[in-house]
Structure 1
């Protein structure tokens, strides 16, 4: 099946009238009900048509696979969509676009707002909590960004990322994360550990031409993990901002960086260059943050 969004959508306040209008019985208490769950999700194409969904509020701390979509499955594709002013909370596997991105592709999407999870075993991220499927490789997130503040209410070591919480053999290409990501309490290194992707597993997982800046200016490496098995290519984080004993992967962007420092970034078709700023993406819905280079 294929679906196309024809207008920007501002979701209503959490009240009884909205619950009736949307057909979501517990909307007043819990907000949006994710489309699908961990096992059954989008299998077709959802084209946001360069529109945005605003005021996506979800308060389902007892549920797993939480986001606009609970999951994507099989050949599921989500594209050209922005999620703005999100306020999302779930138990685990939480992201603005999809809780679990088990489908083929999420591309040209963005998110802004706040995302929290009660736990963090499987992942919490700005776009998707989990990318991939058990024992499978090649699921893709491309040309996406998130400025969400991502937090797990945990004192444990966590799979949390500004863009993706955990990737199992997934491919992340031409993406960036510009928001805070961390756990709410516990050891300082754990609170500041996450970067673009919280955990990159199954040896063939790759991150290519991406960056993470980190809204807190601390400990945001491009990829953060206790056991990194994937590959990071031409991906960057701000120099002097890593205070993180668990991080690995990516290259520190030096002070005074210029366009030439972003190796293999396609500034003709994918990225927009402005002197003194981290690059922005072309053709992605939403208002992109302006972040100055070191």
Structure 2
């Protein structure tokens, strides 16, 4: 019996042992009703390894200031508190009042990040603050992530890495008072700012967090403004790749920094002082998307080399370009295969160009070619052009604007304007209920079809008022054309108080030719006068024709001026004629 008893006890112990082993091997843990709380160790954020590039931690290389992180497991996000655990704060413990639990020994997959916004289910895209001048905003722009990491029961460690890059700028060699430092020309992907005001660490050292990005050689990515109004820009010497988790330090000697030729005023407008300054603001519009910036000239500018127009059809310029009464000399564009060329490529709705003179210009493009603007959807006012404008494409060439869908007022052109269809001393075509008034052209104008001393084609419900031409107007087509001293074709528009004088109006291939309008198609011509080689004011008329030839004593310029002014006043024009010399000139009321 005793032997049997001992055997039975041993068997029972063995059975219990096997049961315990089976339970342990299954991974079931007895601690607590829900299992063992998961406590993570956070690592990976070490100080920068080198002075130029290396891994880094939030702001100063540790976990200090990071209150909590989001932890994602099995589709659920919980907040975990952060407690630094090492003397240098480069490691931390992550705990929670409502933790996840170990229920077995199996590995788990975890994603964690900071900063965390309530409701987030995954780490957000990198989006930094535009103003990082305050330390809290600089710190808050960081994004650290431990993504889909495998964590084991015996070693629940999460290694975090940065999704941002850190740019540090050290300034040297300057004596003027520094007003501001900005990072500029940055990528705007995912809504990131194109400019950043960095955090001032002291000792002429500034730092900012940016989204990872490529930076092209020549990009003015550090811009410094001084109290004396001067602005200096430091350009990237070669192409650079700013990578997540790394720090890049640039030591900039402001003694050798390039003057961008403009200053940025308190209201955000740009004051341009040099040729380079004008080219640089053009780049801001065309390459950085600052299409609505206001630009003001402080003096005359001479351009050298090929000009790139400000604004494109897909990215039109919508700011206010104010020449301040100054002159731009030497605008040169030779782009015979390109549409929308001029000082402004495309002036968008709400955009304005005013108070500028272009002299000695040579502008050549395909379609929509003008001295001031290739296409105008805004306002061009009180501008003058002198030189040659050539359209080598099919349509729309003008001394001021190629295609006009906006307002042109108080402008003048001289020199030569040459194109194909819709060619005019002021504009090639003016369409869809728009106004041209108070303009004059002395330019020699030539083209194949729809050629006018002021305007090639006046469209439906559009108005041409108080405008005149004194240059030669020539149709070069041998198949017939519409050519007029003022308008080539008036297609259901209204021409009021306009005249042509002194210049010859000719057509090499015949066609419809008139002292004022070549073809008046269901349009209105009111109180208009001409003094040229022609006997008819309209070459062909299916609308209202109130044109008169000035010669001898039949109709004098005194009579013409009185009639034109009466018609202009009735039409609500703000312009009137005065006769102080041989021909009337315009005055603003």
TM range (shorter): 0.7 to 0.9
**Partner SS for 2:491:** coil
Q: 2:583 aligns with which of 270, 277, 280?
A: 277
Kindly indicate whether structure 1 or structure 2 has the higher relative contact order, using CA contacts under 8 Å at least 6 residues apart: 1
Q: Following TM superposition, by how much is the alpha carbon of 1:281 offset from its aligned partner in structure 2, in angstroms?
A: 5.8
Q: 1:98 aligns with which of 365, 373, 385?
A: 373
**Partner SS for 1:224:** strand
CA distance in 2 between counterparts of 1:125 and 1:276 reads: 27
Shift in alpha-carbon separation, 1:240–1:176, aligned structure 2, 3 A: closer
1:214 is the counterpart of 2:471: yes
The answer to whether the Cα contact below 8 Å between 1:213 and 1:220 also exists between their aligned partners in 2 is no
1:84 is the counterpart of 2:390: no
The answer to whether the Cα contact below 8 Å between 2:473 and 2:485 also exists between their aligned partners in 1 is no
Tell me what 1:198 maps to: 456
Tell me what 1:10 maps to: 302
Shift in alpha-carbon separation, 1:6–1:222, aligned structure 2, 3 A: same
Tell me what 1:60 maps to: 335
**Partner SS for 2:366:** strand
The answer to whether the Cα contact below 8 Å between 1:182 and 1:192 also exists between their aligned partners in 2 is no
RMSD: 2.7
Q: 1:114 aligns with which of 379, 383, 388?
A: 388
The answer to whether the Cα contact below 8 Å between 2:446 and 2:474 also exists between their aligned partners in 1 is no
1:180 is the counterpart of 2:479: no
Tell me what 1:255 maps to: 551
1:149 is the counterpart of 2:416: yes
Q: Following TM superposition, by how much is the alpha carbon of 1:195 offset from its aligned partner in structure 2, in angstroms?
A: 2.2
Which stretch shifts more, 213-222 or 161-170? Answer: 213-222
Q: Following TM superposition, by how much is the alpha carbon of 1:243 offset from its aligned partner in structure 2, in angstroms?
A: 3.9
Tell me what 1:21 maps to: none
Q: 2:424 aligns with which of 154, 161, 168?
A: 161
CA distance in 2 between counterparts of 1:242 and 1:272 reads: 25
Tell me what 2:187 maps to: none
**Partner SS for 2:486:** coil
**Partner SS for 1:261:** helix
CA distance in 2 between counterparts of 1:111 and 1:243 reads: 24
**Partner SS for 1:65:** coil
Q: Following TM superposition, by how much is the alpha carbon of 1:150 offset from its aligned partner in structure 2, in angstroms?
A: 0.7
Tell me what 2:28 maps to: none
**Partner SS for 1:110:** strand
**Partner SS for 2:452:** coil
Q: Normalized against structure 2, the TM-score is what?
A: 0.39
Shift in alpha-carbon separation, 1:144–1:272, aligned structure 2, 3 A: farther
CA distance in 2 between counterparts of 1:7 and 1:128 reads: 24
**Partner SS for 2:388:** strand
Shift in alpha-carbon separation, 1:232–1:192, aligned structure 2, 3 A: closer
The answer to whether the Cα contact below 8 Å between 2:453 and 2:473 also exists between their aligned partners in 1 is no
1:140 is the counterpart of 2:407: yes
Q: Which has the higher helix share?
A: 2
The answer to whether the Cα contact below 8 Å between 2:473 and 2:506 also exists between their aligned partners in 1 is no
**Partner SS for 1:61:** coil
CA distance in 2 between counterparts of 1:271 and 1:148 reads: 23
Tell me what 2:85 maps to: none
Q: Following TM superposition, by how much is the alpha carbon of 1:177 offset from its aligned partner in structure 2, in angstroms?
A: 1.2
**Partner SS for 1:67:** coil
Unpaired stretches in structure 2, ≥5 consecutive residues: 1-292, 476-482, 513-517, 520-524, 532-549
1:72 is the counterpart of 2:347: yes
CA distance in 1 between counterparts of 2:587 and 2:309 reads: 27
Q: Normalized against structure 1, the TM-score is what?
A: 0.75
CA distance in 1 between counterparts of 2:355 and 2:367 reads: 25
Superposed CA offset, 1:88-129 (max 9, x none):
1001100000000012x11100101001111132x0000000
The answer to whether the Cα contact below 8 Å between 1:120 and 1:160 also exists between their aligned partners in 2 is no
Shift in alpha-carbon separation, 1:212–1:11, aligned structure 2, 3 A: same
The answer to whether the Cα contact below 8 Å between 1:78 and 1:107 also exists between their aligned partners in 2 is yes
The answer to whether the Cα contact below 8 Å between 2:471 and 2:503 also exists between their aligned partners in 1 is no
Which stretch shifts more, 256-265 or 49-58? Answer: 256-265
Superposed CA offset, 1:142-199 (max 9, x none):
01111130112x5xxx11011100011220011111111113xxxxxx3794321111
Q: Which has the larger radius of gyration?
A: 2
Q: Following TM superposition, by how much is the alpha carbon of 1:44 offset from its aligned partner in structure 2, in angstroms?
A: 1.4
